[in-house]
Amino acid sequence: MSQTQTPAAPAAPNRRGNLLRGLFVIVVLLLAALALWYFMFGRWFEETDDAYVQGNLVQITPLVPGTVVAINADDGMRVERGQLLVQLDPADT
């Protein structure tokens, strides 16, 4: 009795296993990218729903009438005594 053995065919690549491995690699890369973004940029952002700002509002009243042509200060900007804040149109005076 002679038995002929046929060589075993190579196993077909497991398509489902490859897809799962690819998905796992993509998820790991996304998590690594998210962690990198957080440690480089995200941890410096403050976020809250109940914040408030405390400050003083000062009313500026004119001593002379005129048309404003330039404002040399912005909200929240620190100003010094004697600093020019507003320029008036010289044609109005």
CB of 70 within 8 A of CB of 82? no
**pLDDT above 80 for 83:** yes
pLDDT at 29: 98
- pTM for this model (two decimals): 0.40
What is the structure's pLDDT at 16?
Answer: 87
Assign residue 76 a region: left if phi > 0, alpha if psi is -120 to 50, beta otherwise?
left
Residue 25 has φ and ψ, to the nearest 5°, of -65, -40
C-alpha span between 38 and 44 (Å, rounded):
9
Instruction: Classify 87 as helix, strand or coil.
Output: strand
Which region among 3-12, 21-30, 71-80, 83-92 has the lowest average model confidence (pLDDT)? 3-12
Q: Average pLDDT in the 10-15 region?
A: 71
Residue 31 is predicted with a pLDDT of 97
Tens digit of each residue's pLDDT (9 = 90 or more) over 31-82: 999 999 999 998 888 788 887 878 888 887 878 888 889 999 988 889 999 9
pLDDT of residue 46: 79
Helix (H, G, I), strand (E, B) or coil at 88: strand
| CA–CA gap between residue 46 and residue 32 (Å, rounded) | 22
